[in-house]
Structure 1
Amino acid sequence: MKPIIIVLLALSLQGCFLTKVVTVPMRVGGAVISVVPVVGNVADAAIDTTADVIDLVPL
């Protein structure tokens, strides 16, 4: 039973899932930063662009 669980866990922790684990907190942080006057929207756009590039990483 334990090897089956390990294989299923390994299958679920690849590709798109791993990039989402990284980019979702970045996008949430960017949304919070966008509230800051003047520089907030610029910082949010930079973070969002970076998250988009990370999503394209072929894992």
Structure 2
Amino acid sequence: MKFIKLLIILLAVMTLNGCVLTKLITVPMRIGGAVISIIPVAGNTAHDAIDKAADQVDDINI
């Protein structure tokens, strides 16, 4: 019974590993970029840079 529980936990961790960990990092980045985008003149440039960085973090294979 312990082996089955361990196997299920291991499979869940392997499945959720990359997706969940990168989303924990990139969601606050994207929210910050959206807030920054309301600043006149430099807001959209900063938002685009943050969004590009968040896309690259999403592509990392963790």
| TM superposition score category, shorter chain reference | 0.7 to 0.9
Q: What is the CA deviation profile of residues 5-57 of structure 1, one whole-angstrom value per residue up to 9, with x for unaligned ones?
A: 8x277456511110000000000000000000000000000000000000000
Partner of 2:44: 41
| Alignment root-mean-square deviation, CA | 2.3
How many residues were matched structurally? 59
Q: Max radius of gyration: which structure? A: 2
TM-score normalised according to structure 1 size? 0.81
Structure 1, unaligned runs of 5 or more? none
Q: Compare the two structures and name the one with the higher helix fraction.
A: 2
Q: 1:14 aligns with which of 14, 17, 26?
A: 17
Structure 2, unaligned runs of 5 or more? none
Percent identity of paired positions between Structure 1 and Structure 2: 53
Runs of 4+ in 1 over 6 A off after TM superposition: none
Partner of 2:56: 53
